[in-house]
């Protein structure tokens, strides 16, 4: 029956027809450019007509791609030879569209060389629209189909197509922006090549100055950033280790509460902790006032600067270190310690000679993560930094401040990017591989040793005060919105919530009159669109990485995980530099926000997908294949149901990250598409702390509800006696 099936399907649709039809539709029937209002509506001429009318003759050669693609149909070529024509058609078409798109911009030639050759200003055109999108997409699919016909990936068209699309998307939305930043660092602000200026900006003393060592003026912003990051890395690792030891190796009564600690930072927008610190320790903060009225200590601005940012980042990143250290401590097989015990080592000796050395690579890992997270953080330094400047805030003010200097922003971004990529590279290449996992699949009936007393009390002394402090901070976040003004006037009130979330019933139904509603709805909409895209793309990538063998797979993996290490601020700057001008003109739309979220959070989907897929025996895929299911069918009928827990994790995570992100989106929001986080930051800036904290706590509660809702809705299915697949590894990213 398999043979008949095949002939029937190949008669219905010869390979390559569908993508070719889509490309043709895009070229001949849909408007090539974006319309004037920046939308992708139906106004405007298709590319083919523009070329024929002579308005934009450079769109003409695209037709050659269609001639190439049609050749095998006309000459009745099949198989490998037809594939070659398809590849040639796709490659030429995409090359030409990309080349003309980057050469001809709004104001004429985009390269000085071209202007010199053909005369300035040259032809002009707007950004690409729906027609161009479909043409490129169709040609890309056609080329991939051609490669599959030439035997790539065992001739599996779906796999080749998926790889092609993911690579193209990552090139467009991760690499292109970064390349733009690098290029613009070498140009002055009017677009002329100026390498001298680059060196001048790069060696600027405001970046690398060491004045503070001599007791003089402040140090350069790069040193500030590194110094802060080192402190945060060391301290958050120490705290995380203390918490992890208490959670796994003691009978501490409130161990369960520690679990809560791991969820909080994920659903807390990054700057909210800074805000709570202001409400506690600011000049009119609750603690400051208490100290003044009781002990006569005058309130000061000490919280604004290094101490404040450090405390806020520790509060934000200690839970991440805790998650990392938890898996490290749990990964040490009890039998290791039992072996040492039978060799008559004392408890403290065992800890020093066995337990701790086994944890060491994990500690390095946690440190590097804290280091990178601190450098990438934007919200806390923005709220609490004061005169203490770090790279991420400096980049922001170089773009939006009074003295806008894009070249300077680009240079600062490069410095920050080098730092975070360096940390990421060390973590991936060196530490990541050295982590010992002594727990194997075989049962280990041993019991972990209780901690030696010295270590135990050390852990308690570190962790308990900090744990109490964390809960005070979160209590402030929750109750801060219900009083008139923290620190000054504790009269209970619902005024802040009323301002933010009032709903009035009037003519024509409900009116959402609260000031927070527009940004809330915009955020929820963007996050809800981005979440399934992120999860889908991430899991598809994970499947390709774990289940398919293809040339360049390692490079592919590196590409997909790279956006992890790019700080949000850098992403924001690079997006406005890259997508403000043709050929891809997206700034001011919701699309750019969705794209930004998808590509920033995709690595998490990839990781949880890889973790889940490595639990699923590869022979399941193969069994499905030998039963005649193609890879797309296998993915749908076998993999998707088994990947449900990973899907939930990726969905929840990308939704929450999209709701709480601030660093990248603060550059990308527009009047129409303002995000909740940027709105709150604005309120903090304006001194409306009550409103800001009320909105923040509502967001936190809303996200908790959504997380529980998604888990209930998608659910988990028990797979026989083995129970659930282990939860995917803790998502850790260069946030900010």
Residues at the contact surface with other proteins, assessed by CB under 8 A: 1-3, 5-6, 151, 154-156, 617, 619-620, 622-631, 633, 637-638, 641-642, 717, 719-722
Residue with tokens 């995980």: 561
Asked whether 49 and 30 are in contact (CB, 8 A), the reply is: no
Closer Cβ to other proteins, 585 or 621, answer by number: 621
Element (H, E) at 616: none
Question: What is the helix (H) or strand (E) element at residue 112, kind and residue range?
Answer: helix 112-118
What is the C-alpha to C-alpha distance for residues 373 and 567, in angstroms, rounded to an integer? Answer: 8
Q: What is the distance between the alpha carbons of residues 664 and 383, in angstroms, rounded to a whole number?
A: 16
In 637-713, beta strands by DSSP E:
none
Three-point CA angle 414, 420, 425, nearest 5°: 115
Q: Kindly tell me the burial class for residue 716, based on how many C-beta atoms sit within 10 Å of its own C-beta (0-12, 13-18, 19 or more).
A: exposed
Cα–Cα distance between 357 and 329 in angstroms, integer?
Answer: 11
Between helices 272-281 and 286-295, what is the axis angle to 10°? 20
Q: Assign residue 154 a region (left: φ > 0; alpha: ψ between -120 and 50; beta: otherwise).
A: left
**Pairing verdict, β 104-105 and 108-109:** antiparallel
Q: How far is CA 660 from CA 281, 350, 382, 629, 643, in A?
A: 24, 43, 15, 41, 26
> Taking Cα atoms as reference points, which of 539, 548, 526, 565 lies closest to residue 618?
548
C-alpha angle with apex 651: 649 to 655, nearest 5 degrees?
120
Minimum distance, C-beta of residue 616 to other proteins, in the bound complex (Å)? 9
> How far is 68 from 729, CA to CA, in rounded Å?
48
Residue 4 CB, nearest distance to other proteins (Å)? 9
Integer Cα distance of 376 and 663 in angstroms: 9
Measured over the CA atoms of residue 84, residue 86, residue 90 and residue 92, the dihedral's sign is: positive
Q: How large is the angle between the packed helices 689-714 and 676-685, nearest 10 degrees?
A: 160
Q: How many CB atoms lie within 10 A of CB 695?
A: 29
Minimum distance, C-beta of residue 169 to other proteins, in the bound complex (Å): 26
H or E segment to which residue 512 belongs: strand 509-512
Q: C-beta of 156: minimal distance to other proteins in Å?
A: 6
Q: What tokens were used for 605?
A: 């989907």
Q: Can you list the alpha helix ranges (DSSP code H) found in 150-271?
A: 157-170, 176-185, 195-202, 205-208, 221-249, 255-267
- Report helix, strand or coil for 105: strand
Distance CA 431, CA 452 (A): 27
Nearer to other proteins, 10 or 205 (CB): 10
Dihedral sign, Cα of residue 232, residue 234, residue 235, residue 239:
positive
Provide the minimum distance between the beta carbon of 628 and other proteins in the complex, in angstroms, as a whole number: 5
CA dist., res. 179 & res. 171, Å (int)? 10
Tell me the torsion sign for CA atoms 272, 274, 275, 280: positive
496 contacts 694 by C-beta, under 8 angstroms: yes
- d(Cα 410, Cα 187) in Å, to the nearest integer? 10
Give me the phi and psi of 142, to 5 degrees please.
Answer: -65, -45
């Amino acid at each position: 029956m398999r043979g008949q099936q095949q002939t029937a399907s190949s008669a219905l649709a010869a390979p390559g027809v569908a993508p070719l039809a889509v490309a043709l539709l895009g070229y001949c029937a849909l408007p090539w450019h974006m319309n004037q209002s920046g939308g992708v509506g139906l106004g405007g001429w298709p590319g083919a007509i523009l070329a024929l009318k002579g308005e934009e003759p450079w769109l003409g050669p695209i037709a050659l791609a269609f001639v190439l693609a049609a050749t095998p149909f006309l000459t009745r070529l099949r198989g490998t030879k037809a594939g070659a024509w398809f590849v040639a058609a796709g490659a030429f078409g995409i090359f030409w569209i990309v080349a003309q798109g980057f050469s001809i911009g709004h104001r004429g030639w985009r390269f000085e060389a071209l202007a010199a050759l053909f005369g300035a200003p040259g032809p002009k055109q707007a950004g690409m629209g729906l027609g161009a999108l479909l043409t490129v997409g169709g040609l890309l699919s056609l080329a991939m189909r051609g490669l599959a016909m030439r035997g790539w990936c065992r001739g599996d068209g779906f796999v080749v197509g998926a790889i092609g699309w993911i690579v193209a998307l990552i090139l467009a939305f991760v690499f292109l922006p970064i390349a733009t930043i690098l290029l613009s660092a070498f140009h002055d602000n009017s677009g002329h090549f100026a390498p001298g200026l680059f060196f001048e900006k790069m060696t600027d003393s405001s970046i690398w100055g060491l004045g503070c060592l001599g007791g003089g003026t402040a140090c350069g912003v790069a040193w500030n950033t590194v110094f802060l990051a080192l402190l945060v890395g060391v301290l958050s690792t120490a705290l995380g280790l203390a918490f992890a030891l208490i959670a796994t190796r003691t009978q501490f009564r409130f161990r369960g509460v520690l679990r809560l600690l791991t969820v909080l930072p994920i659903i807390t927008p990054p700057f909210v902790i800074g805000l709570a610190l202001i409400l506690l320790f600011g000049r009119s903060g609750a603690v400051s006032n208490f100290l003044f009225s009781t002990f006569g200590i005058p309130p000061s601005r000490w919280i604004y600067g290094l101490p404040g940012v450090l405390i806020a980042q520790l509060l934000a990143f200690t839970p991440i270190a805790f998650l990392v250290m938890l898996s490290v401590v749990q990964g040490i097989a009890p039998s290791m310690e039992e072996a040492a015990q039978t060799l008559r080592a004392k408890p403290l000796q065992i800890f020093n000679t066995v337990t701790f050395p086994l944890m060491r690579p994990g500690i390095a890992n946690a440190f590097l993560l804290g280091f990178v997270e601190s450098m990438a953080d934007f919200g806390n330094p923005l709220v609490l930094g004061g005169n203490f400047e770090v790279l991420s805030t400096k980049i922001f003010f170089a773009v939006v401040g009074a003295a806008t200097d894009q070249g300077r922003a680009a240079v600062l971004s490069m410095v920050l990017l080098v730092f975070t990529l360096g940390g990421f590279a060390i973590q991936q290449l060196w530490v990541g591989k050295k982590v010992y996992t002594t727990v194997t699949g075989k049962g280990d009936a041993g019991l972990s040793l209780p901690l030696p007393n010295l270590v135990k009390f050390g852990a308690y002394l570190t962790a308990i005060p900090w744990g109490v402090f964390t809960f005070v901070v979160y209590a402030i976040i929750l109750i801060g919105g219900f009083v008139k003004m923290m620190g000054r006037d504790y009269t209970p009130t619902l005024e802040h919530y009323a301002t933010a979330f009032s709903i009035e019933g009037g003519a024509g139904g409900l009116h959402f009159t609260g000031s927070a509603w527009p940004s809330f709805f915009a955020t929820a909409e963007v996050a809800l669109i981005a979440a399934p895209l992120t999860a889908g793309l991430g899991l598809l990538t994970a499947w390709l990485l774990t289940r398919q063998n293809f040339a360049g797979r390692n490079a592919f993996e590196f590409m997909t995980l790279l956006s992890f290490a790019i700080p949000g601020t850098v992403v924001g700057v690079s997006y406005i530099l890259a997508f403000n001008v043709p050929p891809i003109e997206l700034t001011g739309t919701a699309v750019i926000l969705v794209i930004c979220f998808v590509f920033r959070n995709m690595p998490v989907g990839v990781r949880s997908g890889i973790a889940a897929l490595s639990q699923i025996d590869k022979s399941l895929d193969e069994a499905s294949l030998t039963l005649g299911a193609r890879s797309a069918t296998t993915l749908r009928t076998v993999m998707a149901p088994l990947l449900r827990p990973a899907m939930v994790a990726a969905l929840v995570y990308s939704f929450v990250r999209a709701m709480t992100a601030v660093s990248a989106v603060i550059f990308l929001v527009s009047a129409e598409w303002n995000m909740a986080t940027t709105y709150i930051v604005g309120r903090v800036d304006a001194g409306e702390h009550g409103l800001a904290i009320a909105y923040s706590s509502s967001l936190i509660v809303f996200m908790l509800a959504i997380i529980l809702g998604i888990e209930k809705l998608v659910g988990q299915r028990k797979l026989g006696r083995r129970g659930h697949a282990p939860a995917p590894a803790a998502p850790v990213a260069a946030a900010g």
